[in-house]
């Protein structure tokens, strides 16, 4: 059957984890295809709350097979912690999860290099999650990386030590103090733990499942505006967060892609450095942060907040070929008298409806204002009961983008979801 894809359309943290968990009862297979533990995907259901970093968000659905695809970078220490937390919840994660042999391993020294590179950038730092993501993808592209399948090789330790030594050599250029042995014992123990999982050639598995009539749901991490090619470079992550990344990160032909679910918040957030044209610096931004509990699920950092940006949203829809929009965190706007949406930008005195090439461009958003609905949406379960001011906001976004909003989220819980 087909490959359906869930993607963040903004700067990450749109609520992908919640939506994959919601959709997962309709999909027998859920697969992560890029990124790694820089992701933090929060799930709330039946009184449970958990944040997943590496394991796909279908793991709590009894019938789903979850795949960590070849495009993912995996830190054994974080993976082990995550699996132990899932097992504590009574979920037999080993029976529900398979891992690609070709996924790359994050070494402790990758994390050190990440920290050293960030420190060297000073004020120009990217605001990385410091999980070692970029150095691991650098080794992958540089053809030096270690892959999950390598942990089964008899000379794994030799290969690990060779790469570690290369990293120590590389780190000499940085004025950065570190202990090369830090976390090594814990990491090697976590590698042992990882060995007990089902490690497979997942590209064969995914294609076999598709050929046997199963539909696969690919779970994106980050968002289009953090994509290595199309995001606000260099303030991006190091993987392809776009729809095409799902094909590469799983080994599936683009001909298989059917539905592309594009997830966006009813406003915007960004964590880390880089351009954010609609960022709000006054108390309204603080209100969004407080009401939306906008603190990083991975790092705990406060997220920057701003109004919905249709220029960026339309760009993300174009690059990804979105078929269905999903609007998250609508309830966070419940208390606002007025809601703003950026419909274009002013750049160098000219009206502009495209995302500028240069990350340092001075961009002034042009806003359209909407009256707030001033009602609590969190208890509503039927579309017909939504306030008309809210429906006008939804219709405007649909008109502007030309894509239907098929799901509206009005709270963090699995149940606080209206499917239209
Ligand atoms: P992800 O990285 O895209 O999976 O998103 P995160 O989990 O990092 O951030 C989304 C946050 O918003 C989490 O704390 C979710 O529990 C929460 N959330 C998701 N949907 C909604 C919603 O509709 N309303 C509210 N208030 N919170 C939501
Ligand atoms: P999820 O999947 C939000 C941001 C970091 C930083 C930049 C590069 O939860 O939506 P990296 O560690 O990847 O080198 O950091 O990207 N970033 C995210 N922001 N959500 C994420 O993931 C993110 N993953 C990375 O803050 O600005
Ligand atoms: Mg997140």
- Name the percent of the chain lying above pLDDT 90: 95
44 to each of 18, 172, 227, 289, 419, how far by Cα in Å?
7, 44, 27, 19, 17
Average pLDDT across the chain, whole number: 96
pLDDT in tens, 211-222: 999 999 999 999
pLDDT in tens, 238-292: 999 999 999 999 999 999 999 999 999 999 999 999 999 999 999 999 999 999 9
Active site residues: 13, 41
**299 C-alpha to ligand 2 centroid (Å):** 10
Spacing of C-alpha 86 from chain mean position = 20
3-class state of residue 64 by DSSP: coil
Nearest CA to ligand 1 atom 14: 42
pLDDT in tens, 181-197: 889 999 999 999 999 99
- In degrees and rounded to multiples of 5, residue 372 shows phi and psi of -70, 160
User: Count of CB atoms within 10 A of residue 399's CB?
Assistant: 8
Check residue 299 and give its pLDDT: 82
- Positive or negative, the CA dihedral 130, 71, 45, 264 is positive
Mutate to test the pocket of ligand 1, among 56, 131, 412 (most ligand atoms within 8 A of CB): 412
**Start-end of H helices in 354-401:** 388-401
Q: Specify the ligand 1 atom closest to the Cα of 293.
A: 14
Using alpha carbons, select from 163, 170, 252, 165 the residue that is nearest to residue 203.
Answer: 252
Q: Specify the ligand 1 atom closest to the Cα of 14.
A: 3
- Residues facing 121 on adjacent strands: none
Confidence of residue 18 (pLDDT cuts 50, 70, 90): very high
Q: Specify the ligand 2 atom closest to the Cα of 301.
A: 26
How much is the average pLDDT of 77-95? 97
Check residue 322 and give its pLDDT: 98
User: Count of CB atoms within 10 A of residue 402's CB?
Assistant: 9
Nearest CA to ligand 1 atom 21: 412
Nearest CA to ligand 2 atom 13: 237
The answer on pLDDT for 178 being more than 90 is: no
Check residue 359 and give its pLDDT: 79
pLDDT in tens, 145-165: 999 999 999 999 999 999 999
pTM: 0.97
pLDDT in tens, 98-145: 999 999 999 999 999 999 999 999 999 999 999 999 999 999 999 999
Nearest CA to ligand 2 atom 15: 128
Confidence of residue 300 (pLDDT cuts 50, 70, 90): confident
b/e map of 117-136 (b: 16 or more CB within 10 Å)? bbeeeeeeebbbbebbbbbb
Provide the 8-state DSSP code for 355: -
Check residue 293 and give its pLDDT: 96
Using alpha carbons, select from 376, 415, 418 the residue that is nearest to residue 44.
Answer: 415
């Amino acid at each position: 059957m087909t490959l359906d894809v869930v993607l963040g359309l903004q700067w990450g943290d749109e609520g992908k984890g919640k939506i994959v968990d919601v959709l997962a009862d309709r999909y027998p297979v859920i697969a992560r295809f890029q990124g790694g533990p820089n992701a933090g995907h929060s799930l709330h259901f039946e009184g449970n709350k958990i944040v997943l970093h590496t394991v796909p968000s279908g793991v709590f659905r009894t019938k789903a097979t979850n795949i960590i695809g070849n495009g993912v970078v995996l830190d054994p220490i974080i993976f082990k912690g995550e699996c132990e937390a899932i097992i504590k919840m009574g979920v037999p994660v080993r029976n529900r999860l398979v891992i690609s042999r070709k996924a790359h391993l994050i070494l402790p020294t990758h994390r050190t290099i990440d920290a050293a590179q960030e420190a060297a950038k000073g004020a120009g730092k990217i605001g990385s999650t410091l999980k070692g993501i970029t150095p691991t993808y650098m080794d992958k592209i540089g053809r030096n990386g270690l892959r999950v399948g390598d942990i089964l090789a008899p000379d794994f330790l030799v290969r690990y030590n060779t790469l570690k030594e290369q990293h120590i050599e590389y780190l000499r250029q940085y004025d950065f103090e570190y202990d090369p042995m830090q976390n090594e014992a814990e990491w090697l123990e976590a590698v042992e733990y990882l060995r007990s999982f089902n490690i497979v050639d997942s590209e064969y598995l995914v294609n076999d499942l598709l050929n046997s009539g199963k539909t696969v749901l690919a779970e994106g991490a980050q968002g289009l505006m953090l994509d290595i090619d199309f995001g606000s470079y260099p303030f991006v992550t190091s993987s392809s967060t776009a729809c095409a990344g799902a094909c590469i990160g799983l080994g599936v032909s683009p001909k298989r892609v059917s539905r592309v679910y594009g997830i966006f918040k009813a406003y915007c957030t960004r964590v880390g450095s880089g351009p954010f044209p609609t960022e709000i610096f006054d108390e309204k931004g603080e209100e969004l942060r407080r009401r939306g509990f906008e603190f990083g699920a991975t790092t705990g950092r406060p997220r920057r907040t701003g109004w919905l940006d249709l220029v960026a949203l339309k760009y993300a829809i174009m690059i990804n070929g979105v078929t269905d929009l999903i609007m998250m965190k609508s309830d966070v706007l419940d208390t606002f008298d007025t809601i703003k949406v950026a419909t274009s930008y002013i750049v160098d005195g000219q009206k502009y409806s495209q995302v500028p090439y240069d990350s340092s461009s001075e961009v002034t958003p042009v806003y359209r204002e909407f009256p707030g609905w001033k009602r609590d949406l969190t208890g509503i379960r039927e579309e017909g009961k939504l306030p008309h001011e809210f429906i006008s906001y939804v219709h405007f976004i649909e008109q502007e983008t030309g894509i239907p909003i098929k799901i509206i989220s009005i709270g963090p819980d699995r149940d606080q979801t209206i499917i239209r």
